[in-house]
Structure 1
């Protein structure tokens, strides 16, 4: 009898330990891979452009702002990088956007953008941003952008060459 009681306790502790090990400490999302690049329009660098990578399958929305030389570093949820896979890319540049008048403030956190997406409001916000865009509207809208990229494991340098 005594042996059975001990065996049950050992079994219970073992199962509890296995369950806790399976539930603990891992990453909260897909692995992110570094993505940098340069955005140009008609061959000239585009500064202060809002770049958005929208995954076609899974992973969070990644965003960046280009610097004065057109260079950008993508971030997902505040962390550098993008989940591997195919992404649609939108690029917006507007006077209204620089002042925060398009519904998407330049300093908007990626998690706020993700929240807009979860509420089904991101597409409308991106389309509002496109209205005052200094770039062709096709680049601002998720349903018309010709830009798609494949993010691979490891470092990714992705040039975005926009034309009329």
Structure 2
């Protein structure tokens, strides 16, 4: 009887792990790629933060020298489906959405470093892999 119970418990444990892993990589998680420009020219370094408007985890992407970025959430490629506020920060700045970016010499206007002032939003869904364009401007700085 004890042998059968151990086998059942082992099976239930594996089932829980399998369901948890499947939930983390479910169909509501999408690849998000894009480009960041400033006055039409590629931003060549920095970070993009996608902060969910509802509860959830922040997705982050490093801006490459050609202005492109790809998001990850807690080390997993992509972001969960939903509505996001977006911030663009210079290289070396804090990743946390609660923090105010430290003044680092950058051509990225400071208003874009905070989701409350950037006015950048994005909806992540099945079309997000087509590319997100974040067009920043120095107008008004």
User: TM-score if structure 2 supplies the norm length?
Assistant: 0.75
The CA deviation at 1:22 is: 6.3
Counterparts in 2 of 1:151 and 1:88: CA distance versus 1, 3 Å? same
The CA deviation at 1:37 is: 0.3
CA RMSD, Structure 1 to Structure 2 (Å): 2.7
Counterparts in 2 of 1:54 and 1:156: CA distance versus 1, 3 Å? farther
2:38 pairs, out of 38, 41, 44, with 41
CA distance in 2, matches of 1:30, 1:24: 13
Structure richer in helix, relative to its length: 1
- Match for residue 66 of structure 1? 63
Asked if structure 2 preserves the Cα contact closer than 8 Å seen for 1:33 and 1:156, the reply is no
Aligned residues: 130
- Which structure 2 residues correspond to residues 1-164 of structure 1 after superposition, within 5 A? 23-26=16-19, 27=21, 29=24, 31=26, 32-93=29-90, 97=91, 100=92, 102=93, 104=94, 122-124=97-99, 127-129=100-102, 131-132=103-104, 133-153=106-126, 155-164=129-138
Unaligned runs of 5+ in 2: none
Asked if structure 2 preserves the Cα contact closer than 8 Å seen for 1:52 and 1:64, the reply is yes
Structure richer in strand, relative to its length: 2
Please list every run of at least 4 consecutive aligned residues from structure 1 whose deviation after the TM superposition is greater than 4 angstroms: 15-22
The CA deviation at 1:128 is: 3.1
CA distance in 1, matches of 2:46, 2:15: 42
The CA deviation at 1:63 is: 0.6
Unaligned runs of 5+ in 1: 1-11, 105-112
Asked if structure 1 preserves the Cα contact closer than 8 Å seen for 2:50 and 2:85, the reply is yes
Q: Larger Cα Rg: Structure 1 or Structure 2?
A: 1
Asked if structure 1 preserves the Cα contact closer than 8 Å seen for 2:101 and 2:113, the reply is no
CA distance in 1, matches of 2:15, 2:54: 25
The CA deviation at 1:24 is: 3.4
CA distance in 1, matches of 2:133, 2:82: 17
CA distance in 2, matches of 1:137, 1:18: 53
